[in-house]
Amino acid sequence: MTERIYATQAYERSMTANVIEVDDDQGKVLLDRTVFYPGGGGQPHDLGTLEAGEKRFDVVRVTQDADGVWHWIDGPLPDRGAEVVGELDWDRRYLLMRTHTAMHTLCGVIWERFRSPVTGGNMTPGEGRLDFEIPQWTPEDRPEVEAEFNRQLSMDYPIEVSFLDRADADMDPSLIRTKVSLLPASLSVVRVIDIVGLDRQADGGTHVASTGEVGTVRITKAESKGKGFRRIRFVLEGAAARG
Ligand SMILES: [Zn+2]
């Protein structure tokens, strides 16, 4: 298995690791530890490089399976047993962290206003979309939701990561609306992302330390997807960035 540094230390952008498996057919290597996020929960996988001595390898894709986290390389692979230094494309990853935290913030805003759970979503660096069932939506909601979205971000809520036993997560009312019951039955520990005071969700992704780092957002679209479903798209604008 791979030690997932990103799961507890989202701001680590490099690591030293050992190659524990090489898959020549598919062009990928398994590492014993990594800062590379393999994708999931709407957040795309990371990009970056591995270096072994003078050799440099471009990581073009990251995936996970029962063995751990696989780093897909464009070109020749490092050797099994080699020590490598991994380095993220940090600008892209940090933008994804800000985008992901913005997604959860919008979930909190929509929940507070409509009591509507999220039904789907996706993101690219700097842009997000979320689907909700909001039959009562009216045109005035768009500017008001956008204003509330920015107001909540500016509150600079801290974001905490914790790990709950599955049984406790299944019984936590604040997690039920994010469908913790839909997680695989095999999952014995549930990772929880808590935007303290606003939104709490089972989640595997990487987030900034506080909502102030997201900066400001603009809702670009709030389109009907039929039968009361609403797809809200937003972009990140100004950055209150550090990182
Ligand atoms: Zn998430």
Residues, CB within 5 angstroms of ligand 1 (ion): 41, 203, 205
CA of 205 to the centre of ligand 1 (A): 6
The per-residue pLDDT for range 149-197, each reduced to its tens digit, is: 999 999 999 999 999 998 888 888 777 666 555 677 778 899 999 999 9
The per-residue pLDDT for range 71-100, each reduced to its tens digit, is: 999 999 999 999 999 999 999 999 999 999
3-state helix, strand, coil in the chain (%, to 5): 25, 40, 35
DSSP 159-227: EEEEEEEHHHHHT-HHHHTTTGGGS-TT--EEEEEEETTTEEEE--S---SBGGGG--EEEEEEEE-ST
CA of 80 to the centre of ligand 1 (A): 34
Quick check: 239 pLDDT over 70?
A: no
The per-residue pLDDT for range 18-50, each reduced to its tens digit, is: 999 999 999 999 999 999 999 998 999 999 999
Q: Where are the alpha helices (DSSP H) in the chain?
A: 90-114, 141-154, 166-170, 173-176
CA of 193 to the centre of ligand 1 (A): 8
CA of 42 to the centre of ligand 1 (A): 7
What does the chain come to in residues? Answer: 243
Closest CA to 79 of 29, 32, 33: 29
Closest CA to 62 of 50, 51, 54: 50
Tell me what pLDDT residue 177 has.
Answer: 63
CA of 103 to the centre of ligand 1 (A): 7
CA of 120 to the centre of ligand 1 (A): 10
CA of 73 to the centre of ligand 1 (A): 27
Angle in degrees, CA 125, 134, 171, rounded to 5: 80
The per-residue pLDDT for range 95-124, each reduced to its tens digit, is: 999 999 999 999 999 999 999 988 889 999
Contact criterion met (CB below 8 Å) for 148 and 109: yes
Closest CA to 87 of 115, 51, 119, 123: 51
CA of 41 to the centre of ligand 1 (A): 5
CA of 30 to the centre of ligand 1 (A): 25
CB-CB neighbours of 230 under 10 Å = 24
Tokens, residue 91: 């600008």
> What is the fold, at CATH topology level, of the domain defined by 3-88?
Elongation Factor Tu (Ef-tu); domain 3 (2.40.30)
Contact criterion met (CB below 8 Å) for 206 and 193: no
The per-residue pLDDT for range 127-137, each reduced to its tens digit, is: 999 999 999 99
User: 7 — phi, psi (to 5°)?
Assistant: -70, -25
Q: Does domain 93-236 have CATH number 3.40.50.150?
A: no
Spans of all domains in the chain:
3-88, 93-236
Task: Look up the pTM and report it.
Answer: 0.94
Closest CA to 96 of 10, 8, 16: 10
